[in-house]
Structure 1
Amino acid sequence: MKKLLGATAILLASACMAAAEGELQLFNWGNYTSPELLEKFKKETGITVTVTDYDSNDAALAKIEAGGHGFDLVVPTHQYVRIFVEKGLIVPLDLSKIPNHKNIAPEWMDVEWDPGRAYTIPWQWGTTGIAVNTAVYSGDINTSDIFLNVPDELKGKINVVPEMNDVVNMAVMWAGGTSCSEDPEVLKKARDALLAAKPDWLSMDYGATEKLSNNDWAASLNWNGSTMRARLANPTVKYGYPKEGYPVWMDSVALLKDAQHVEEAYKFLNFIAEPENAAMISSFARYANGIAGSEAFMPEDMKTAPEIVVPEEFKAAGHFIPTCSPKAQEYMTAIWTELQK
């Protein structure tokens, strides 16, 4: 009887392991993963992807650092990749398992935050700017004055997405500094402007796609793809590129050190680096991606969208925010903490 029970237990354990092998846990930004992409992946591989959402890089980092999360893949923004590496939270990729690694566009291959793409595969990239309902406000929207010196028409009607790096660094650039500044005078000017403007804001929240679409908000500091989705639902929504400076960013997928479904993760990483599949990611969230050849599969309306194609006059104002020094991060966190009070 003991032998029979033992054999039964082994069979049951094997069945459970087989079931687990058909699973993958993706930790990603909210409203950012194409359901059609996941359906196609499951159809081709038999692997079911479960997506858990987060709403900021800091929240994702804290959750991963705490351990016991059960996630296999995470999608940090570029300046956080080095932090994940330095903390030992993600591992170098075995490129022999990702033949589609060669599809990464040359301009996105040897990037400062991940030389040679040793740790990450591109997900999407974009900009952070200003979304405005031009039926409410018809003035210049290509300025951070929209949220730092709120026009009368937008007072009590504007939202600011609560992503610390974007908000504080846009204020710093508006104040004449550069991102990750350690200049006390610039930082004070940025801090004072943020605190003075906050009473004129309606909220600091996510969900801009829906709330701009529904006229719940008249403006928001927001991301370009989200703004495009809002414009498709509400044509009077326009996207502004602050001339004082705005962030350019890229989110990429990384394999967590404590991943439980490693082989499934590699299949997914290779899958998203296929041009047609990368285009599916972009088609859903409305951001560009870093995979060469995906353009042929992109929706026509993205090829000329003003939120995706940066106007020539504003290109020079866009900047990748680096991984800030500990001192700069301390200053930024102090400003952010005060702003949250």
Structure 2
Amino acid sequence: MKKIIAAASCLTMLSTPALAAGSVNVLTWEGYADPSFIGKFEEESGCKVNATYVGSNDDFAPKLMSGGGVYDLITPSIDTTALMIDLGFVEPLETDKIAGWKNIYPKFLGLDGIQRDGDYYGMPYSWGAIVLMYRDDAFQTPPTSIADLWNKDLAGKVSLWDDKSSIYVAARRNGDMNIYTLSDEQIAKAREALVEQKPLVRKYWATAGELVDLYKAGEVVISNSWAGYQSSLLAKEGIKVTEFVPKEGAEGWMDSWMVVKDTPNKECAYKFLDMQLSELGQCGVANVNGYSAVNPVAAKNCMSPEQFKALHQDDPAYIDSLMIWTALGDRFEAYTNAWNSVKAQ
């Protein structure tokens, strides 16, 4: 992390100029700037949305270092937001400019990763779980455990997300539930488990579309997944899959919009933030990605009762049951190095 901070200090001065006013340039996840709802925003606001997509939280820092001035808004997950603040990439939010701010679930507003010294730097946007998923026609007995990802009978049919969170998966398989505060010994055990699993893995997936294609082709029958997203895409293709929370529990995530420091496109940026917390943005991401909304008031107004319930919008206990991602702090490098060494095997 020290190396990243040092590099960022130099590169911030060399960042490329931002695009012209009247636009908002977002570095975000697939679906967060989908034309199905962004088109209406552009028409009503006069702000053109230019989107660049990431496949992992580890993409944000390098992309901002190489050209921070290109982006106005980013959407890192809660385990990465604090790093964006530490690196000086983002600025405090003017929350009074965001109409739905007070309707956000208190649990998300209470998370340390989006605030510093009395200021908020992140606006919660969407949340969900990292569940396991399997192709129905590949199993007579449905899987129930993370251990099923190590089933040798499924050699060549397994996939994991190409992300340091794979260490969390392997740690839980080993019985280590303190997944965000693993010791060096526990990380080493998780790494060993992933190396053991590697011959069973068809491919480590990087994007939602890549995992969908692997399932469609029958190349993968079990994996982890962003709850609600890849399964909905596969359903549209007529591929029957089932998501499940393994007996070892599931990780939870929350993504937040953050304003890149000194953006000249602030007017459009705040119009965009206001929209994303409104019914248009909250149901926009729910309908495209299958993710849950952070503003239950907006969600209730734009979702059917069935969708509202299916996305656990009325179930705070479900949110509390998830192992919400946490910033790794000084342990970030240890986790990342362990995952990279697995891939290098």
Does TM, normalized by the shorter one, top 0.5?
A: yes
Extract structure 1 runs of 4+ deviating beyond 4 A.
Answer: 307-317
Mapped to 1, the partners of 2:96 and 2:320 lie a distance apart of 38
Q: Please state how far the C-alpha of 1:83 moved relative to its aligned partner.
A: 0.7
Mapped to 2, the partners of 1:208 and 1:163 lie a distance apart of 14
Normalising by structure 2, we get a TM-score of 0.83
Question: Cα RMSD (Å) of the superposition?
Answer: 2.7
Q: Please state how far the C-alpha of 1:151 moved relative to its aligned partner.
A: 4.6
Instruction: Quickly say closer, same or farther: Cα 1:315–1:122, change in 2 above 3 A.
Output: closer
Name 1:181's counterpart in structure 2.
181
Tell me, yes or no, if the aligned pair for 1:25 and 1:72 is still in contact at 8 Å.
Answer: yes
Secondary structure in 1 matching 2:93: coil
Q: 2:270 aligns with which of 266, 271, 285?
A: 266
Mapped to 2, the partners of 1:250 and 1:299 lie a distance apart of 22
Do structure 1's residue 318 and structure 2's residue 322 form an aligned pair?
Answer: yes
Secondary structure in 2 matching 1:253: strand
1:222 partner letter:
S
Q: Please state how far the C-alpha of 1:75 moved relative to its aligned partner.
A: 0.3
Instruction: Quickly say closer, same or farther: Cα 1:199–1:313, change in 2 above 3 A.
Output: farther
Do structure 1's residue 150 and structure 2's residue 155 form an aligned pair?
Answer: no
Q: Please state how far the C-alpha of 1:245 moved relative to its aligned partner.
A: 3.1
Residue ranges of structure 1 left out of the alignment (5+ in a row): 1-18
Q: What count of residue pairs does the alignment treat as equivalent?
A: 318
Name 2:340's counterpart in structure 1.
337
Name 1:72's counterpart in structure 2.
72
Instruction: Quickly say closer, same or farther: Cα 1:210–1:296, change in 2 above 3 A.
Output: farther
Secondary structure in 2 matching 1:179: coil
Instruction: Quickly say closer, same or farther: Cα 1:242–1:311, change in 2 above 3 A.
Output: farther
Name 1:124's counterpart in structure 2.
126
Do structure 1's residue 160 and structure 2's residue 160 form an aligned pair?
Answer: yes
Name 1:248's counterpart in structure 2.
252
Q: Which moved more, 1:214-223 or 1:201-210?
A: 214-223
Q: Please state how far the C-alpha of 1:271 moved relative to its aligned partner.
A: 1.3
Instruction: Quickly say closer, same or farther: Cα 1:29–1:313, change in 2 above 3 A.
Output: closer
Name 2:57's counterpart in structure 1.
57
Q: Please state how far the C-alpha of 1:304 moved relative to its aligned partner.
A: 4.8
Tell me, yes or no, if the aligned pair for 2:122 and 2:257 is still in contact at 8 Å.
Answer: yes
Mapped to 1, the partners of 2:182 and 2:214 lie a distance apart of 35
Instruction: Quickly say closer, same or farther: Cα 1:111–1:317, change in 2 above 3 A.
Output: closer
Do structure 1's residue 296 and structure 2's residue 301 form an aligned pair?
Answer: yes
Mapped to 1, the partners of 2:282 and 2:319 lie a distance apart of 24
Secondary structure in 1 matching 2:145: coil
Instruction: Quickly say closer, same or farther: Cα 1:141–1:313, change in 2 above 3 A.
Output: farther
Query: Deviations for 1:232-288, whole angstroms, at most 9, x for unmatched residues?
Result: 234520012122232100011000004231111011111111134311221111100
Instruction: Quickly say closer, same or farther: Cα 1:215–1:301, change in 2 above 3 A.
Output: farther
Query: Deviations for 1:179-225, whole angstroms, at most 9, x for unmatched residues?
Result: 12333443232121110001111001232234334534212221112
Name 1:215's counterpart in structure 2.
218
Among the aligned pairs, what percent are the same residue?
Answer: 23
Q: Please state how far the C-alpha of 1:61 moved relative to its aligned partner.
A: 1.5
Normalising by structure 1, we get a TM-score of 0.84
Mapped to 2, the partners of 1:96 and 1:251 lie a distance apart of 20
Instruction: Quickly say closer, same or farther: Cα 1:224–1:168, change in 2 above 3 A.
Output: same
Residue ranges of structure 2 left out of the alignment (5+ in a row): 1-18
Tell me, yes or no, if the aligned pair for 2:135 and 2:240 is still in contact at 8 Å.
Answer: yes
Query: Deviations for 1:93-145, whole angstroms, at most 9, x for unmatched residues?
Result: 11232233223233322223224871122221111121100210233433111
